[in-house]
Amino acid sequence: MFTKSTNQKSAQKQTPSGKPKMPSIISENLKVFGNLESDGEIQVDGMVEGDVKTSSLTVSEGASVRGAIEAETVSIVGNVTGQIKAKSVSFLAKARVIADVIQESLSIEPGAYFEGNARRMEDPKKPKDTSAPQLADGTVATLPGVAKKPSDEKPIAAAGSDD
């Protein structure tokens, strides 16, 4: 009688008019001291001192974020200091970023300032290949410039044997 079906729950996540959700906006005259978390889009036009976790983040010109950012996509025109972890990261021409960036895709426009480290995020679904790379002729690359054919390797005789 008072239970909701799963269809009703999924319909609650949509806006009543069926339009896409509007972004949450931290306006130009607003300063936030604390963490932000959203499953939608956040646009920062003001200042945030705290961590931001969202699906999409835009830091506008003149805006600033000091803290860790975790999102699917991040687009920065303003200032960011901290750490950024996202699938796609874009630093636009007027961006000033002092951060360590962990990403799958990174673009930096001319004029953007970036100080920090950038590391490519490993795809958790893709298994890691721990085998040594093989060249076209069947040789195994062990060190840069050194290649061995599997037939070149001979077993080492045990101590005290006549081999």
pLDDT tens by residue, 37-68: 999 999 999 999 999 999 999 999 999 999 99
76-94 pLDDT, tens digit each: 999 999 999 999 999 999 9
Is 14 inside any structural domain? no
Q: How far apart are CA 7 and CA 17, in angstroms?
A: 17
Is 136 inside any structural domain? no
Is 162 inside any structural domain? no
Per-residue pLDDT at 35: 96
Asked if residues 100 and 107 have their Cβ atoms less than 8 Å apart, the reply is no
Q: How far apart are CA 114 and CA 100, in angstroms?
A: 10
User: Could you give the number of structural domains in the chain?
Assistant: 1
Is 29 inside any structural domain? yes
Is 41 inside any structural domain? yes
Is 78 inside any structural domain? yes
Is 25 inside any structural domain? yes
pTM as predicted: 0.65
Residue 7 phi, psi dihedral angles, 5° rounding: -65, -40
Is 126 inside any structural domain? no
Domain of 50, in residue numbers: 20-120
pLDDT at 25 > cutoff 50: yes
